Amino acid sequence: MFPRLSLVLGGARSGKSALAERLVALSGGEKIYLATGQGLDEEMAERIARHRAARGPGWRTIEEPRAVASVLGGLREGQTVLLDCASLWLSNHLLNGSDIAAEAAALEDALGACPARVVVVSGEAGMGIVPENALARRFRDEQGLLNQRLAARAGLVVTVIAGLPLVLKGTLPEGLA
């Protein structure tokens, strides 16, 4: 069994979402995919469609780019939600001009109060070069702070590199290590 809150980190195309999906599949009960991506252009819309098709049946999908805390507040025990991903959620709020500190605090509160199991996928954005513009630097900094806050609350924290999980906190369930 895994804890009520898990965090799966990784870079682009690292395998973090695939690991998170396998983790959710082990939980039993209703599987909910809380998607924060928006199909604002053709490429992103196609990417979302591919992800949905690859998940297969058995998932209920909720698409919510920003009001994730509200969705978490409506979940119940026996459900497991995969929040994919905190990075897009943060980006959506930055581009919307939201108060990031208030939104992050609301997300933390909702995660703490949510009776469902939650697996959060989040990108690791701080291992590359320093971005050239202020918005990108702010995103990188806010992403690092958000990941630290989520990791502090989570009972399981895993980073995925080249498809391989590396446990930073807690223990992976049998069959995922």
Residue 170 is assigned to a structural domain of this protein: no
Asked whether residue 164 is assigned to any structural domain, the reply reads no
CB 123 within 8 A of CB 85: yes
On whether residue 71 sits in a domain, the answer given is yes
Pairing of strands 117-123, 156-161: unpaired
Q: Which pair of structure tokens corresponds to residue 22?
A: 């396998």
On whether residue 70 sits in a domain, the answer given is: yes
pLDDT digit string, tens, across residues 90-105: 999 999 999 999 999 9
* Structure confidence by residue, pLDDT tens digits, 155-175: 999 999 999 999 999 999 887
Asked if 151 and 168 count as a contact pair (C-beta separation under 8 A), the reply is yes
What is the extent of the structural domain holding 41? 5-158
Q: Tell me if 166 is assigned to some domain.
A: no
Given a contact cutoff of 8 angstroms between Cβ atoms, the answer to whether 89 and 66 are in contact is yes
pLDDT digits (tens, 9 = 90+) for 18-71: 999 999 998 888 999 999 988 788 988 898 888 888 787 889 999 999 999 999
Residue 140 sits in a domain of what CATH number? 3.40.50.300
Residues marked as catalytic: 51
Taking the model in full, what pTM does it have?
Answer: 0.94
Inside any domain, residue 171: no
In a domain, 104, yes or no: yes
**How far is Cα 135 from Cα 97, in angstroms, rounded to an integer?**
11
Q: What is the pLDDT of residue 139?
A: 95
The reply to whether 175 falls in a domain is no
How many domains is the chain partitioned into structurally? 1
Share of the chain residues as helix, strand and coil, in percent rounded to the nearest 5? 40, 25, 35
